[in-house]
Amino acid sequence: MSTTSNWINLKISDVFAASCPGDWGTDGTPEDGVPVLRSTNFRNNGSLNYTDLVYRKIEKSRLAKRQVTRGSVLIEKSGGGPSQPAGRVVYCDSDFSGTASNFVEVVKIKEEFNPQYIAFLLYRLYHDGLVLKYQQQTTGIINFKLNEYADEQISLPSSKPEQTKIAEILSTVDRAIDQTEALIAKQQRLKTGLMQDLLTRGIDEHGNLRSEQTHKFKDSPLGRIPVEWEFTNFGRVLSQSGGHIQTGPFGSQLHSDEYVSEGVPVVMPQDINRGMISTIKIARITEPRANSLLRHRMHQGDLVFARRGDLSRCAVIRDSEEGWLCGTGCLLMRPPTKVLSPRWTSETYQFFTTQLQVDINAVGSTMPNLNTGILSSLQLALPSITEQKRIEERLNAAEDDESRVTTTLNKLHSLKTALMQDLLTGRKRVTELLNE
């Protein structure tokens, strides 16, 4: 027997009890207007963000037909772009008392269908690309040809209880995703606070965060720092300990005809992102040409900095990146590992980027631009190498916690995708899933 027995084929419009665009009305306030949802309130997971609402005055006769209530399905009719077509679908799961803008269609679902199930079904069709052939762009705005789209055929269970059970399963996964995302956001906030504490107060020999109440601090141009720390700058530390900073090769040293599809990667500013080096669009040159630029080849533990644009971009060279080339537009630092731990140095640099920006503006540069002199003069509150390692361990532990939760989030997203493909197509029936 087919897994889709007792399923029915309909047009999308056949499940609509009513459908009309929202209303923008006139200027209003929370006292004399009603809340109006816009496409900016659409979340890409098919739900609504009920914050950042606008309030508009709308005539009662017009509002009655356009009221957004629990169970309403909203379809974006205008907006979108190359990576996000118009036609996004969201479901109202709240006792909302307002309407949507005139760029949004407010849809009521017939009583014989579960509205949340229909929202999930339309959400899947959107992400499957069904909306792409109904995009229309006559000006700078992309419009969605909803009336033509509504003639598309859909297949769904004839049983409303089965629709309801599918919606319950998918919404349960959505709630788990929301909770996991909230946990990650909380961890990121805690990590930001932890990083500030670690890089300004540090950890004592007993593994405890220092505080003014329990430890001695002293004044410095960077603020109060532990008495054990040295106030210095990168240039002084490097000159005293055998490290150095250098630029990448000038553009005239590398010609466009020397770049190849396979070869030694050349790291440019745009390749440095979030402490890592991306190889998606990285340039490459031949091994012989790279060998002619030996002083620019990077070693494990080196730091590479973007010289222009977002100056917080900095990455530690990993073992797999040994021998890559520091390219035009970057600076290379080889820290003395007996005094500077690469990871601690990178985190400290990024933490104090705001101070670095002030220095750059002070010298009158019209565009943020890092040079060896500015980087050398960047001030440091320097703990011992042993304490730097303790700080790294604490940061690594926080990142490991976040990574585990992120892995869970990725699995939940994959689960939702698989469940939608199985349950919303009839490939797997709810009864079969529950039995498993």
Instruction: Give the chain's length.
Output: 436
Q: Which of 283, 268, 264 is nearest to 313 (CA)?
A: 268
Q: What percent of the chain has pLDDT over 90?
A: 74
Distance CA 245, CA 303 (A): 9
Residue 356 has pLDDT above 60, yes or no: no
Q: What is the pLDDT averaged over residues 256-272?
A: 88
pLDDT band for position 162 (50/70/90)? very high
* pLDDT of residue 409 exceeding 90: yes
Specify whether the CB–CB gap between 328 and 249 falls below 8 A.
yes
What own/partner pairs with CB < 8 Å and gap ≥ 24 does 170-177 have? 170/120, 170/416, 170/419, 170/420, 170/423, 171/93, 171/116, 173/412, 173/415, 173/416, 173/419, 174/45, 174/46, 174/47, 174/416, 176/412, 177/45, 177/409, 177/412, 177/413, 177/416
Q: How does residue 328 score in pLDDT terms, banded at 50, 70 and 90? A: confident
Mean pLDDT for the stretch of residues 155-182: 95
**Residue 68 CB: number of other CB atoms within 10 A?**
26
* Calpha distance 30→55 (Å, rounded): 6
Nearest to 320 by CA among 265, 399, 283: 265
pLDDT score at 392: 93
Q: How confident is the model at residue 358 (pLDDT cuts 50, 70, 90)?
A: very low
- pLDDT for residue 428 is more than 70: yes
More confident residue, 359 or 421: 421
As a whole-number percent, the residues of the chain with pLDDT over 70 amount to: 93
Q: 283, 219, 199, 210: which is closest to 248 by C-alpha?
A: 283
pLDDT at 355 over 60: no
Residue 434 confidence (pLDDT): 58
Residue-wise pLDDT tens digits, 223-263: 899 999 999 999 999 999 999 999 888 665 677 777 888 99
Q: What is the band of 288 on the pLDDT scale with cuts at 50, 70, 90?
A: confident
pLDDT digits (tens, 9 = 90+) for 35-52: 999 999 999 899 999 999
Among 70-84, 310-324, 357-371, which is the least confidently predicted range?
357-371
Reported as a single tens digit per residue, the pLDDT across 131-140 is: 999 998 877 7
pLDDT at 258: 79
Q: How confident is the model at residue 368 (pLDDT cuts 50, 70, 90)?
A: low
Is the pLDDT score of 367 beyond 70?
A: no
Q: CA triplet 165, 167, 170: central angle to 5 degrees?
A: 110
Q: In CATH, which of 1.20.140.10, 2.60.40.10, 3.90.220.20, 3.90.440.10 is domain 7-158?
A: 3.90.220.20
CA distance 18 to 65: 9
Report the phi/psi class of residue 325: left, alpha or beta, with left for phi > 0 and alpha for psi in -120 to 50. beta
Q: Which residue has the tokens 């009521």?
A: 108
Position 151 confidence tier, pLDDT thresholds 50, 70, 90: very high
- Name the residue among 430, 347, 341, 432 with its Cα closest to residue 387: 341
Which pLDDT score, from 0 to 100, does residue 253 have?
67
Higher pLDDT, 283 or 251: 283
**Secondary-structure class of domain 230-382 per CATH:** alpha beta
| Interatomic CA distance for residues 347 and 344, integer angstroms | 5
Task: Among 264-278, 297-311, 410-424, name the most confident range.
Answer: 410-424
Mean pLDDT over 387-406 rounds to: 94
Residue 365: the pLDDT is 52
| Whole-number pLDDT of residue 2 | 47
Q: How far is CA 196 from CA 200, 312, 408, in A?
A: 6, 16, 27
Say yes or no to pLDDT of 83 above 90: no
Domain ranges of the chain: 7-158, 230-382
Q: Are 56 and 112 in contact (CB under 8 A)?
A: no
Asked if pLDDT for residue 94 goes beyond 80, the answer is yes
pTM of the entire predicted model: 0.80
Handedness of CA 414, 115, 108, 53 (dihedral sign): negative
pLDDT at 3: 59
The answer, yes or no, to whether residue 96 has pLDDT greater than 80, is: yes
